[in-house]
Amino acid sequence: MNILFKGPIVLLARLILGSVFIYASLDKILHPQEFATAITNYHVVPFGLENLMALILPWLEFISGICLIAGIMVSGASIMTIIMNIVFIIAISQALARGISIDCGCFSVSSTTEGGDKIGLISLIRDIGYLLLSFIVFYRQQKQFEFFPKSI
């Protein structure tokens, strides 16, 4: 089991998570209004706060992604990806449980023009995968290529 939390697997997990989160954030940073609509459709955010969330969440994803890849505050960034993935999993599950068909808003938010990326079991399983990767990074036993705080 220990092999999971050491060496190349941790680095790989950081790279995958980092790139996924950065990639996911870009379209939302560029289109906050569309992302706010996507959030509204989930019916979980109390009314009025969708816009603030649509502004802050993409930047949080972006910064966490950069930190994971660059080796800056990796523990803090992995806590953030754990929290975000748990929130995404809850949001998607409640939408699936209520049987509402909505756009995921996970990677691309301008889906109305290009067919759409609907939520489904796939998006749920994908997020659970990212959650596991985040836990691997958080519970890592070796700190390699981390520059702040300096690995010993």
Partner 1 sequence: MDIRIPIVQAILLVLLAITISIGSNIINTNPIPWFATKLSVADNIDTTTNEPILVAVSLSQAKSFFDDGILFVDARDEGYYEAGHIQGAMKNLFLMELVFNIEEKQSKDKSLVVYCGDPGCGDSEQLAYDLKDLGFTKLYVFKGGWLEWSNAGYPSELGK
Residues forming the site for partner 1 (CB under 8 A): 29, 32-33, 36-37, 40-41, 43, 47-52, 54-56, 58-60, 62-64, 67, 73, 75-80, 83, 100-101, 112-113, 138, 149
Residue 148 phi/psi, 5-degree rounding, is -150, 120
| Strand partners for 118 | 103
Please, are residues 58 and 77 in contact by the beta-carbon 8 Å criterion? Answer: no
Q: 24: burial class by Cβ within 10 Å (0-12, 13-18, 19+)? A: buried
Task: Decide whether 68 or 89 has the Cβ nearer to partner 1.
Answer: 68
Q: Which is nearer to partner 1, 57 or 89 (CB)?
A: 57
C-beta closer to partner 1: residue 79 or 87: 79
Report which of 108, 105, 18 is spatially closest to residue 63, judged by C-alpha positions: 18
Smallest distance, partner 1 to C-beta of residue 18, A: 13
Minimum CB–partner distance for residue 134 and partner 1 (Å): 12
**Measured from the CB atom, is 122 or 139 closer to partner 1?**
139
> Which residues on adjacent β-strands are paired with residue 148?
72
